[in-house]
Structure 1
Amino acid sequence: MSSNKERQRTRGEIACAECRRCPGHRTDRTHIVPCSTCVKRGCSMLCPNGTMPPGKGSRFVGVAEEYLRQKAAKLEERMRSLEDALAILQTNTSTQPHPLLTKICSTEEADSGSSVDTTSTTAESNLHGHLNASGSLYLDGDPQYGPGHFFGPSGGSEAERQFIPETPLASTKTQKIEDDYLHPLISNLDQVFPFTPPGIPKKQILEIMKSYLPEIQRAILLCETFLKSLSWVFPIISRQYVIGHLIPLIYRTEIPSLESSHYGPHELALLFSALAIGALFDPDLPPYNAEARHYQRVARAAMCLQSVFSERSMATIKALHLMSMYYGMSGIEDNTELCYSCLNLASQAALQVHKDPSRWGLKGADAYERRSYFWALFSQTLWQSLATGRPPAIMPAVVDCQIPSDFEEATYRLGEVPLALGSWSSHYAIQCLVPVIEVTQAVKPPSYQSILELDRKIREFSVPVYPDSTHFDRVPAGMASYVQAGYKDLTLMFLHRGFFAQAMAEFPSDPLRSPVGRSFMVAYQCASTLVTSTIDQFKLQPVLCSRMWRIWTFAFSAAVIVGTVAIRRLGIKLDPEPLEHLEKACNLYYQAAQTCSRAKRALVSFEQGYLSVTRAHCHASEANFTSASSKSGQREDESSSTRQPQTRFKVS
């Protein structure tokens, strides 16, 4: 019977419980909830089934309760801000927490304000987490012997995306079926990569591997695709070497200038690695295709025919480098560790055989190619370090390789795909990227003044301006300018991201009030710019962008910053507006998820974050609607559409 009355009260068919409790008050019979009588008395939150406790002075208890709740919330926020500021000052003078922050509350204080104490303690611990961030360690199984994954402070977004349940576009089940066609000798070598087992018939295996090569015209086409897609920013192998030398050598064609017809397993692995990446970027093939996987598995087997640890050469280093790039673009996130490991292995090999070539008497084109490649490898290890939060394999203190001059580049890159940034990127790496890695991964947090000084240095670092577009004629349209424009924004975002989180923790409602509020604004502006430029570039080059893994790693980090600001619903005006920008990022990742595995995995996080924002805005709109309709006397069902959350992007 009581449940039936509650339903009738909810529909407004009978008087609410509070009006029936007070015989002197009658409902207005307009079927509006809350009723006008409860609204006038300040107890609309009780209508239709709640009641106020009887007694003198309870007439406007609802209004007083709401006022006190808001007042307590403001005081609590101010208390947390003061405690956080005190914690910041304390970390600059001592490693011990301030006595006021560790004082044990008395029994009376704990009883009267336990909820406030708990909140402030949590805020304090979060703040110290931002100040002394050491990264994240993910353990699978036994903490002593189980597999683990470490991501440093600058690799937070990468770590979050890494452990989203996998929904790859490349099917691992399909790959297992494909394994059956390989010769058992090749398959066994693939399984033991990168080690070389004893007693293997190398000549027989080399002949089997050669049978897996495509026709020479197909090989040239795939290598051309690889060079056009990546060598403008990663000059790993030149066109003259791979097409003019390596392919004719391995395919046994005539080479008048060739002194020796000998080639080793690592040269064969280098060619197969180039073919694998060329197949990944072939616009006529689907992403993460079987042909690319085929070439990559044979390349792994070829690497095992010759010891990676004791018989290294330039071909060894470059083949490992290309394998690292393949694993980053393979569409399987479990390969992220292989990507990092292969690049580190290539870097360690480079330290043994790749000092400045002038030490070994090399000059001209040979010296230029070695120098150009070393700086491409070094720069990539730095960006990999920022993305994962792990220290680079090549430490700057041991680098003695000269940076190629513009004259050398103009002289020795004739007939090659032009470099997008040339020697500028090498100078930028050593002068800007290295200091950023040192401060973002330092054990002891740097002073904020040093961060601002580094910010100034990055902004003042000049960017080359090319007089015309001929420099980029053979580069995919717009990609070179896109990379060049994003260098500084990306570096500044990584530099300020930790302090961005600190400002959000100190002043949740207005981070600009924080002593590190400048970092909040810089990180948000750089992240917004990166999201916008990625959207524009994806419209121009959807196939190429969807297959370059670093674009989506860095865009995800930028979108997380934008999404964090949107979810907090700060009371400050920002340009661009956070919620609208988050909507654009969601749309970008929804479109890219159709062909990009990394975007598809990241889309899960965006769906959750965006839906939480829309729900919060929906609840706020619903509360405003209820109050307005009560005052105006309009029916709730006449404007119900204004309370429904609107889907702003497509959810897969």
Structure 2
Amino acid sequence: MDFTLPPNNPEAAKYSQLGRAALSLRSVAENPQIETIQTLALLGGYRHMAGGKACIDSAWSYASFSIKLAQSVSISLFNRWYRDCALWGLDTKTVQRRRLTFWSMAATEIFFALHTGRPPSCSLSYVDCEFPIYDGQNSTKDEAATQLFKLWHFRSLKEWIIPACQHMMAVPGPNYQSLLALERKMLQETPPSFEFLTDPDTSGRPSREARSYIMSLLRVNTMMYIHRSFFAQAILDKPDNPFLSPYAHSYLTAYRCASTQLSVSLHFYNKCPLFFQRLTPFWTNAFTAAVS
């Protein structure tokens, strides 16, 4: 993200290699530290952003491994991150740090799971970790907007994306009525405007544009994924007229969501091309929409 350097520059690759070398000095699976878990999660993000062959597959592996290590942390020393750490009477700063780390890692891992068609590593039925608490005191407008964005992102992750991913990966297959119920929930709970999550004074800044891009497309992108398989089934059922298929709703919804995805992606690319050229998830979403 340093615009003075070319994308995928050798310096970034060098630090990635040094980070992996540092991790290999001892087993990361034995008494992992919080920094070890965060490093693995960051390496997953780097692998995806750097691109290259099978980048999203290796990124998913790193992200999933970091979640599993977080789940394996012993109660006596670190407690279980997927359980809320306030239960063990830790100080407020530690509680906040662990809550933020857990949900940030969960957000990264579920994104990779959704885009690779793999099951999520953490089921909500085992999670009672609360969201981090932000009081907004002594914060600038941009900091407050960032904090509100994180909370909204974590909530949508918990209530929309993880359930959608679990439905999609179910065996023998997703229950169509359950997916329609989830879709209705998403439509009812999405605020009419996301302006309260942005700071007008930061318009044009890459960080602000990234937040706006994610907020604009999180619901649309999720709906596109949950309806994509039924979109294909509608075409297989009635190739001459998919609207006669029992899955006609999915056919139309997936088409509309893909069209919106491409339109919004073009809008944000034109606003901040140097930034979105380097944002691999941006191209992953756009390519998926184009194929759909």
* Fold match (TM-score > 0.5): yes
User: Which stretch of structure 1 is more off in the superposition, 414-423 or 372-381?
Assistant: 414-423
- Contact 2:161–2:222 (Cα < 8 Å) also in 1: yes
Residue 442 of structure 1 and its aligned partner are, at CA, apart by: 1.0
Aligned equivalent of 1:439: 167
Matched, 1:331 2:54: no
Give the secondary structure class of the aligned counterpart of 2:65. Answer: helix
Aligned-partner SS, 1:509: coil
Which is greater in Rg? 1
Tell me the equivalent position of 1:517: 248
- 1:420/1:484 contact within 8 Å kept: no
Aligned to 1:498: 229
CA distance in 1 between partners of 2:121 and 2:290 (Å): 28
CA displacement at 1:360 relative to structure 2: 3.4
Once the two structures are superposed, residues 603-644 of structure 1 have per-residue CA deviations (whole angstroms, 9 ceiling, x without a partner) of xxxxxxxxxxxxxxxxxxxxxxxxxxxxxxxxxxxxxxxxxx
SS at match of 1:328: helix
Determine which of 299, 312, 319 is the counterpart of 2:39.
319
Alignment match, 1:286: 6
CA contact (8 A) 1:356 1:371 kept: yes
Q: Deviations over 1:450-504 (max 9, x none)?
A: 2222211111113364448537737634221111010110111111111100111
1:373 to 95, 101, 108: 101
Instruction: Check the 8 A contact 1:381/1:394 in 2, yes or no.
Output: no
Which secondary structure does the structure 1 equivalent of 2:207 belong to? coil
Partner of 2:77: none
Give the 5 Å matches for 1:204-243.
none
Counterparts of 1:295 and 1:447, CA distance in 2 = 45
Structure 2 gaps of 5+ residues are 74-80
Q: 1:240-389 residue pairs with structure 2 within 5 A?
A: 281-353=1-73, 354=81, 355-389=83-117
CA contact (8 A) 1:379 1:429 kept: yes
Q: Identity percentage over the alignment?
A: 31
Question: In structure 2, do the counterparts of structure 1 residues 419 and 539 end up closer, same or farther at CA, with 3 Å as the change threshold?
Answer: farther
Match of 2:275 in 1: 544
1:559 aligns with 2:259: no
CA distance in 2 between partners of 1:350 and 1:434 (Å): 18
Distance 1:363 1:476, change over 3 A: same
Q: Deviations over 1:88-129 (max 9, x none)?
A: xxxxxxxxxxxxxxxxxxxxxxxxxxxxxxxxxxxxxxxxxx
2: CA distance, partners of 1:373 / 1:472 = 28
State the match for 2:126 in structure 1.
398
In structure 1, the partner of 2:199 is 470
After the TM superposition, which residues 525-544 of structure 1 pair with which residues of structure 2 at under 5 Å, given as runs? 525-544=256-275
Q: Structure 2 CA distance, aligned partners of 1:428 and 1:467?
A: 16
RMSD between superposed Cα atoms in Å? 2.2
Counterpart position of 2:154: 426
CA contact (8 A) 2:41 2:62 kept: yes
What letter is aligned with 2:243? L
Give the letter for the 1:461 counterpart. E
Q: 1:454 aligns with which of 153, 167, 182?
A: 182
**Cα pair 2:198 2:208 within 8 Å, conserved:** no
| Equivalent residues of 1:472, 1:480 under 8 A apart | no
Alpha-carbon distance between aligned partners in 1 of 2:97 and 2:150, rounded to the nearest angstrom:
13
Q: Deviations over 1:376-435 (max 9, x none)?
A: 11122211111011111122222121112443xx24877968246221222211211122
- Deviation sequence 1:335-378 (CA, Å, 0-9, x none): 43321211111111111232422133223233212212211111
Write the deviation string for residues 274-315 of structure 1: whole angstroms up to 9, x where unpaired. xxxxxxx11111111111111111111111113201031110
**Which one of the candidate residues 206, 210, 220 is aligned to 1:489?**
220
Tell me, yes or no, if the aligned pair for 2:194 and 2:215 is still in contact at 8 Å. Answer: no
Give the letter for the 2:40 counterpart: L
Instruction: Give the corresponding residue for 1:203.
Output: none
Aligned residues: 279
Question: How does the TM-score come out when normalised to structure 2?
Answer: 0.88
Report the AA paired with residue 556 of structure 1.
Answer: F
| One-letter identity of the residue aligned with 1:532 | S
Change (3 A) 1:398 1:284: same
Q: TM-score, normalised by structure 1?
A: 0.41
Q: Is the 8 A contact 1:324 1:338 kept in 2?
A: yes
1:402–1:471 distance in 2 versus 1, CA, 3 Å: farther
Greater percentage in helix: 2
Q: Is the 8 A contact 2:134 2:147 kept in 1?
A: no
Amino acid at match of 2:234: A
Query: Which amino acid in structure 1 is aligned with residue 59 of structure 2?
Result: C
Q: Is the 8 A contact 1:406 1:422 kept in 2?
A: no
Letter in 2 for 1:450: S
Change (3 A) 1:282 1:500: same
- Contact 2:47 2:56 (8 Å CA) reproduced: yes
CA distance in 1, matches of 2:6, 2:261: 27
Q: Please give the alpha-carbon distance, in whole angstroms, between the structure 2 residues aligned to 1:291 and 1:421.
A: 31
